[in-house]
Amino acid sequence: MTARAIIIGAPRSGSGKTSVTIGLLRALARRGVKVRGAKSGPDYIDPGFHAAATGLSGVNLDSWAMPPSLLNALADQAADDAEYVILESAMGLFDGIPAPEGRSGSAADLARLYHLPVLLVLDVSGQSTTAAAVAKGFATYNPDVRMAGVVLNRLGSERHRRLSADAIEAIGLPVVGAIMRDPTLNLPERHLGLVQAGEYENLMAHLDRLADVVEKSLDIDAILALASPLEPAAGDFGEALQPPGQRIALAEDAAFTFLYPHVARHWRDAGAEIVPFSPLADEAPAEDCDVCWLPGGYPELHAGKLAAAGNFRAGTARFAATKPVHGECGGFMVLGEALEDADGESHKMLGLLGHSTSFTRRKMNLGYREARLRAGCPLGCEGTLIRGHEFHYAQMTATGNDEPLADLADGQGNPLGASGYRRGHVSGTFFHAIARGA
């Protein structure tokens, strides 16, 4: 039997849907339910919490970046070995970009495509019966997106709960949970989102605390009864990012963490072996690997340590002399000549590409990206169209003299010019690849 699924949505970021999702996942896992977390859109961090809470790897489902066939294949894979899938919306439920129908990147696309009900998380701080107007707006905004129930979050009192819940239930929506205001439930954040799951010393204690609150505050059985079967149409992995080699040396530590779960899983399922190494521990890519991949992460927080990692620097240079090395976002920054940290101190990086970057002069760069490769690299052959996402605060302070890697456009196809660099076997971009375009 395929898994049943429900979407956790909200009017905006910061409503508490991540805490509700993680707490629900952990509560179900503690009951012995085989449950998987999923995330709409391009998010690295939440799937890590989902995996920690459930013991099953998380997955991103992105209606803009993933061709329909790949989206269906990933949804089917997520449902195949689980009893329930809890799908967390990014930002607000209907938030995406202008695009052909069903390709906006919003969680609402997934609700329509897979006929999944939505559990609406409402932060009702500063309001009471007005929450019913918000809920009614969600219930009527798009008849193909069904609100199945409401969770009230950040309540101040029992009277507050009663006023809000009675008004919402009067319009025909069941209230299946009510969580009191408690700032200690909030997950700590930094400039690219939540502090990552792997950085907590007491992660499971915090997850269990969220689960305790969910057990006490939500009607879990009622929520499970709202879920619907997740039965996607037939799909395939033809447009997935193919393994860039048979043995892939993958940088993996606190400075290099951002590799989409579906990318790593497909590489393994396609027969590739991922060989992790830690630049922060002064490790170099294994010489018997075919390719080295430096993912995004937080090199700006560890720039001094990376600069002092002599074995990593020398070993990666030796590797790059004969084999491909590719960096994304943070990895791209490390491939350059220098990285200026938040304190304005400049640190020498690998120097395998000629650019330099700064975290001192910060400006947010955010959005979907479509790239046409000018030359072959670990992302694909010349002419390949790649869809992905860019999210960083670092700025380029020197461009160097390397050849551009790709011609870039935003999510609506507006040209953004040349992007990334390549030199010899080395390539890198600020954008993170999600899938091949279609």
The CA distance from 213 to 44, in Å, is: 25
The CA distance from 178 to 149, in Å, is: 12
**The 338-340 sheet, strands edge to edge:** 346-348, 338-340, 356-358, 395-398
Which of 288, 248, 301, 298 has the alpha carbon at shortest distance from 272? 248
Active site residue 292: no
Q: Which of 289, 329, 377, 381 is catalytic?
A: 329
Q: Would you give the end-to-end CA distance of the chain in angstroms?
A: 31
Which single residue is written with the structure tokens 């898994």? Answer: 3
The CA distance from 223 to 413, in Å, is: 40
Q: Which two tokens stand for residue 234?
A: 């037939």
SS3 assignment for 224-292 = HHHCEECCCCCCCCCCCCCCCCCEEEEECECCECECCHHHHHHHHHCCCEEEEECHHHCCCCCCCCCEE
Active site residues: 329
